[in-house]
Amino acid sequence: MKIGLTGGIGSGKSTVANFLREAGAAVIDTDAIARQLSGPGGAAMPAIATEFGPAMLTTEGALNRVAMRDLAFSDPSAKQRLEAVLHPLIGAQTLAESAAAEQTGARLIIFDVPLLVESGRWRHRVARVLVVDCTEQTQLDRVAARPGWTLAAAAAVLAAQASRAQRRASADALIYNEGLSLGALKAQVLHLADRWHPAK
């Protein structure tokens, strides 16, 4: 079964994805694919260099992520141009990884897609949508605690994403990751994994 996993920035998607991976699921991480595509020699780099010029490149020829984050989340048209380059490539790579996971016999395939609700291209590809939710304050606190981030930067990303209510409206299952210990979160994830893919 294919599951779409989504949630706002800092909601806990990667943590949930890791628990699902430990439970035997194949996880396809679209943030990781985006990073690979825009790393040194990445397939998106020629188009990014053409679109944004040298100011958005590192000396190794990768995307300068902090500069692009500042630009994309303060200028919606720049975000759109970046997405126009990356999203088709992310989509193609995700489908290739999904086909490879099916070949290896994986029965639970997780598409970890931050923008599943915002983008129309994912819903029809998955049987169920799992939403990880928490309060916006908790999202901001978690993201601002990351090296290189500020509260203002976290708030700018949050403002560019779907609302919690929009995401919840798309959920077949929801994990409310607020005030939960990691152990309690893991127990909820394992319960869901067992419901969708019984261990016999």
Ligand X SMILES: Nc1ncnc2c1ncn2[C@@H]1O[C@H](COP(=O)(O)OP(=O)(O)OP(=O)(O)O)[C@@H](O)[C@H]1O
Ligand Y SMILES: CC(C)(COP(=O)(O)OP(=O)(O)OC[C@H]1O[C@@H](n2cnc3c(N)ncnc32)[C@H](O)[C@@H]1O)[C@@H](O)C(=O)NCCC(=O)NCCS
Which residues are known binding-site members for ATP? 10-15
Distance (Å, whole) CA 110 – CA 52? 32
**Binding partner selected for residue 65 from ligand Y, ligand X, none, CB under the kind-specific 5 to 8 Å limit:** ligand Y
Distance (Å, whole) CA 125 – CA 3? 9
62: closest CA among 89, 35, 32? 35
Q: x/- site string to ligand Y, residues 123 to 162, per CB under 6 A? A: ----------------------------------x--xx-
Q: x/- site string to ligand Y, residues 47 to 86, per CB under 6 A? A: ----------------x-x--xx--x------x--xx--x
List the beta strands (DSSP E) in 95-143: 109-112, 128-133
Q: Which is nearer to ligand X, 18 or 47 (CB)?
A: 18
**Binding partner selected for residue 115 from ligand Y, ligand X, none, CB under the kind-specific 5 to 8 Å limit:** ligand Y
In sequence order, which residues have a C-beta less than 8 Å from that of residue 62 and are 6 or more positions away?
Answer: 38, 39, 40, 42, 45
Q: Which of 175, 177, 193, 196 binds ligand X (CB under 6 A)?
A: 177
Q: Which of 28, 90, 109, 171 binds ligand Y (CB under 6 A)?
A: 90
Q: Is 167 in the site for ligand X (CB under 6 A)?
A: no
> φ, ψ for residue 18 (rounded to 5)?
-65, -40
CB of residue 19 to ligand X, shortest distance in Å: 10
Structure tokens at 28: 């396809």
DSSP string of 5-33, one letter each residue: EEESTTSSHHHHHHHHHHTT-EEEEHHHH
Q: Which is nearer to ligand Y, 9 or 197 (CB)?
A: 9
Q: Which is nearer to ligand X, 105 or 183 (CB)?
A: 183
Residue 165 identity (one-letter amino acid): A
> Which positions touch ligand Y (CB under 6 A)?
9, 30-31, 34, 38, 63, 65, 68-69, 72, 79, 82-83, 86, 90, 113-115, 157, 160-161
